[in-house]
Amino acid sequence: MHSIFARINNTSALLSSCMMALLAAIALSTLVFTARPEGNVSVASVQVYSGNTRRYATKRQDLAFVDFNITADFAPLFNWNTKQIFLYLQAEYNTTTGIKNEAVIWDRIIRRKEEANVNVIGKNKYNLRDLSTNFKNAPPASYSLKYNIMPYVGALTYGEAARNLRTCCVPPAKDPCIIFV
């Protein structure tokens, strides 16, 4: 009849097929249950300093330091398939030549639902600098609070919780929101 190895092979094939079907159902169910977090991003001030870069000691480059306020509630995003949420504040601006730049200036990882209520008053974690070496005569920037849901099973989900449409990150030099030192 059938040997013991054939029976073990058939049983393990059935169990692995059932496991794959269950994981596919879990991954598809995350796409059905979507939530929209609410948040607010405001920029208090932006200061631009001119300094030397680390790579080239003789080359001067403008560095922007942003003071921002973030309030958001990411608790609706947590369900049984959410492992963690990666938050980041992104600055979007155009250079004087019209090239669109996007730079992440702050980030945080939320691992539990208890940490999902975010209230941050702070400065940028990462340098905001431009390849053209200065921010003078650049159009205004906008800031957006974005998130990335990392599930246990399934695809990564990206979204945006808040957007500050017109701010004074890199405005013309006559704008009072920016301070050149």
What are the pLDDT digits (tens) for 7-33? 999 999 999 999 999 888 877 777 777
- Report the number of secondary-structure helices (H) and strands (E) in the chain: 1, 9
Query: For position 1, what pLDDT does the model report?
Result: 63
Asked whether residue 169 carries a pLDDT value surpassing 50, the answer given is no
Q: Are residues 23 and 65 in the same domain?
A: no
Number of domains in the chain: 2
Q: What is the extent of the structural domain holding 11?
A: 1-32
pTM for the whole structure = 0.76
Residue 61 region by backbone torsions, left for phi larger than 0, else alpha for psi between -120 and 50, else beta: beta
Q: Are residues 4 and 47 in the same domain?
A: no
Residue 8 region by backbone torsions, left for phi larger than 0, else alpha for psi between -120 and 50, else beta: alpha
Residue with tokens 């509630």: 73
Q: Are residues 39 and 27 in the same domain?
A: no
Residue 98 region by backbone torsions, left for phi larger than 0, else alpha for psi between -120 and 50, else beta: left
What is the DSSP code (8-state) at residue 140?
A: P
Q: Are residues 151 and 135 in the same domain?
A: yes
The type of residue at 40 is N
Pairing status of strand 117-123 against strand 100-110: unpaired
Q: Are residues 4 and 43 in the same domain?
A: no
Q: What is the pLDDT of residues 68-125, one digit of tens each?
A: 999 999 999 988 888 999 999 999 888 777 788 898 999 999 999 999 999 999 898 9
Q: Are residues 24 and 51 in the same domain?
A: no
Q: Are residues 105 and 41 in the same domain?
A: yes
Q: What are phi and psi of 30, to 5 degrees?
A: -70, -30
Asked whether residue 176 carries a pLDDT value surpassing 80, the answer given is no
Q: Are residues 91 and 154 in the same domain?
A: yes
How many Å is the Cα radius of gyration of the chain? 24
